[in-house]
């Protein structure tokens, strides 16, 4: 299982399943990394395998959605990976994609509201699937995540809360 991540720039990358932090445990910044960038995202699990999925059929591959937060290393050497083990926080709770228009996503930093978004479109997930599957195959159980344009730098001692889960950066 991989996580295909579409950035606001339109570029995408794959995060391995080792980055998934299934229990929203506190995050320990690895040695040599001074700070992490928090990137809120909306995601979905792919329900069937595909390659070169067209816009017309994209909705057949996605039937649910959830919210998450991705942490990336700040100021990494271009030859080093920016994603680290345990740095993909995807809520375990998903809802049918039919309810995406009414969804509200909130993120707090150090106990203070930072982001509140609502009125999402399923087209975000469908378009991301089309983009990723042009060059890469997707499998059932893979996930697709669409990063929202907002991002924030976090340091040791900071914390964030999303979907009722609090994570400390240590």
Q: Token pair 């042009």 is at which residue?
A: 134
Note the pLDDT of residue 11.
93
Q: pTM value?
A: 0.93
User: DSSP string spanning 124-142?
Assistant: HHHHHHHHHHTTS-B-TT-
List average pLDDT for each run of 10 residues in the chain, which is 170 residues long.
94 94 92 92 97 96 96 74 89 92 97 96 97 96 96 97 96
Domain boundaries, the chain: 2-168
Superfamily of domain 2-168: Fumarylacetoacetase-like, C-terminal domain (3.90.850.10)
The alpha carbon of residue 142 and the mean position of all alpha carbons in its chain are separated, in whole angstroms, by 12
Tokens at residue 82, please?
Answer: 């920016």
């Amino acid at each position: 299982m991989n996580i295909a991540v579409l950035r606001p720039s339109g570029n995408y990358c794959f995060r391995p399943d080792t980055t998934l932090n299934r229990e929203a445990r506190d995050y320990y910044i690895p040695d040599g990394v001074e700070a992490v960038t928090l990137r809120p995202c909306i995601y979905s699990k792919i329900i069937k395998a595909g390659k070169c999925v067209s816009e017309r059929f994209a909705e057949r591959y996605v039937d649910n959605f959830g919210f998450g937060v991705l942490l990336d290393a700040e100021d990494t050497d271009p030859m080093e990976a920016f994603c680290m083990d345990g740095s993909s926080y995807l809520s375990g709770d998903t809802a049918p994609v039919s309810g995406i228009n009414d969804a509200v996503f909130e993120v707090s930093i150090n106990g203070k509201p930072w982001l509140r978004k609502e009125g999402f479109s399923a087209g975000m997930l469908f378009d991301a699937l089309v983009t990723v599957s042009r060059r890469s195959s997707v499998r059932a159980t893979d996930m697709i995540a669409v990063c929202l344009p907002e991002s924030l730098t976090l340091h040791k001692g900071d914390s964030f809360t999303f979907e009722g889960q609090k994570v400390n950066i240590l």
